[in-house]
Amino acid sequence: MNYRISQRAATLSPSLTLAIDSKAKAMKAAGEDVVGFGAGEPDFDTPQHIKDACAQALADGFTKYTPAAGIPELRQAIADKFQRENGLTYKPSQIIVSCGGKHSCYNVILATCQEGDEVIIPAPYWLSYPEMVKLAGATPVILPTSDQTEFKVSPGQLRAAITPRTRLFVLNSPSNPTGSVYTPDEIKALGDVCVEKGVLIMSDEIYEHLLYDGAVHKSVASFSQAHYDHTIIVHGFAKAWSMTGWRLGFLAAPEPVARAIDAIQSHSTSNPTSFAQKGAVAALTGSQEHLPKWLAEYAKRRTYAWKKLNSIPGISCVNSKGAFYLFPNISKLGLSSTEFCSRLLEQEKVAAVPGIAFGADDYLRISYATSLANIEKGLDRLEKFVKGLAQ
Ligand SMILES: *Cc1c(COP(=O)(O)O)cnc(C)c1O
């Protein structure tokens, strides 16, 4: 049998973050004392009232198909969230609930991009964006940035990259993997360029609530009617409510795009899990008391890790302003990020993700969604590893 794999699937690169993660997990399972900085998810449990709402829905027999785009109650709660927190007016029909924020991104790209289209993605990027663009048959156009600009693209850089084929600009603030946050003025300026050039924006705002040092989040959709008309917001429950395993994301889009995505979803996944959606309603309408506690904890870890990283000779690190990642520069140490990370894992049993996975080989991604004790232990080992390199 000739198992010819489709060109579409064959062009994909497997997820490097998941590969390192599974190696670290295998070492752990074999009894080794591995410190993991690879996690792309909060280390906190889902708040109890959210779990209770889900359990109640199960007990009530809420176990059947729902509308493909989500239950009306949840789409309304999401529309209310955008009004309350972002000053953005969406009808429930403009909201689509999907099986994770990742699925929402994929739906957006599939609904708006096709062969011949270009999609502009600033690097370092969340590693799934370029692969999703390839799956849609379109071409990713990567805009490199560095720690010199806090990993931000300038409006001039964006403008220069736009061609008649450019369809979509991917904006992710706060950023995974860098923790960088654009200021409202910077966001507006990038939005202005897209509006002027008729380019759609996919704004991935899943880390909206995870901000430090007084950083503020402003959605690009909120600057004018034109900005709103050019923007599709992607969001989800994974990060601010620690619901990664629930697989629930959402998006807000202009009507024609939302309709197209509803159709795609109705023929692919159908609805996200019925009883999980009831948990999501509780997440949006119930207490948000967990969040300040989590933020205080993340902030403590971030400050410790940032100072410690900068104290290691050869490493420099800009502080993150959002999400739960630091992205230290290791270019002075003479190893590729892949070699650095695999030797670090083998010699010191510390798992970090090589920057090359995010399109930036001079860096590592360190997640501080792990306990302060782990961070102390892991960074002590990292320091030992780096000092060993110098000899
Ligand atoms: C975590 C994450 C998502 C969504 O994750 P899901 O688990 O699919 O909800 C989307 N974008 C970025 C940048 C993320 O880090």
Nearest CA to ligand 1 atom 4: 101
Model confidence at 213, in pLDDT bands (50, 70, 90)?
very high
d(CA 76, CA 67): 13
Of ligand 1's atoms, which has the minimum distance to the CA of residue 238?
9
| Ligand 1 centroid distance, CA of 238 (Å) | 7
Residue nearest to atom 5 of ligand 1 (CA): 101
Q: Cα(210)–Cα(240) distance, rounded to whole angstroms?
A: 7
Q: Output phi, psi for 342, to 5 deg.
A: -75, -35
pLDDT band at 16 (very low <50, low <70, confident <90, very high): low
Q: Is 249 in the pocket of ligand 1 (CB under 6 A)?
A: yes
Q: Is 172 close to ligand 1, i.e. is its CB under 6 Å away?
A: yes
pLDDT of 380 higher than 70:
yes
Report which ligand 1 atom has the smallest distance to the Cα of 239. Answer: 1
Predicted confidence band at 14 (pLDDT cuts at 50, 70, 90)? confident
CB 315 within 8 A of CB 308: no
Residue 362's alpha-carbon distances to 117, 124, 175, 208, 379, in angstroms, are: 29, 10, 17, 27, 18
- The 10s digit of each residue's pLDDT in 171-181 is 999 999 999 99
Ligand 1 centroid to residue 297 C-alpha, Å: 21
> Is residue 22 scored above 90 in pLDDT?
no
CB count in 10 Å sphere of residue 91: 12
328 lines ligand 1 (CB under 6 A): no
Residue 24 or 344, more confident = 344
Q: Hey, what domains does the chain have and what are their CATH numbers?
A: 7-46+290-389 (3.90.1150.10), 49-285 (3.40.640.10)
| For residue 390, pLDDT beyond 80 | no
Determine the residue type at 328: P
- What pLDDT is stored for residue 194 in this prediction? 98
> Rounded CA gap, 120 and 169, in Å?
5
Q: What percent of the chain has pLDDT over 70?
A: 99
- Distance in angstroms (rounded) separating the CA atoms of residues 384 and 378: 10
CA–centroid distance, 11 to ligand 1, in Å, is 22
Kindly give the distance from the C-alpha atom of residue 1 to the centroid of ligand 1, in angstroms, as a whole number.
Answer: 37
Where does the pLDDT of residue 11 fall: very low under 50, low under 70, confident under 90, or very high at 90 and above? confident
In this prediction, residue 110 has a pLDDT band, given cuts at 50, 70 and 90, of very high
Whether residue 102 has its Cβ less than 6 Å from ligand 1: yes
pLDDT for position 17: 66
Give me the pLDDT at residue 91, please. 98
The per-residue pLDDT for range 324-347, each reduced to its tens digit, is 999 999 999 999 999 999 999 999
Is the pLDDT score of 391 beyond 90? no
- The span from the CA of 17 to the CA of 232, in Å, is 26
Tens-digit pLDDT profile for residues 225-253:
999 999 999 999 999 999 999 999 999 99
Q: Does the beta carbon of 322 sit less than 6 angstroms from any atom of ligand 1?
A: no
> Cα 16 to chain center, whole Å?
15
Which atom belonging to ligand 1 lies closest to the Cα atom of 248?
9
Q: Cα–Cα distances in Å, from 314 out to 199, 291, 336, 344, 386?
A: 40, 35, 14, 15, 8
- Determine if ligand 1 sits within 6 Å of the CB of residue 176: yes
Whole-number pLDDT of residue 174 = 98
CA of 313 to the centre of ligand 1 (A): 33
Reference 78, options 64, 67, 94, 62; nearest CA is: 94
Distance 325 CA to ligand 1 centre (A): 13
The model scores a pTM over 0.85: yes
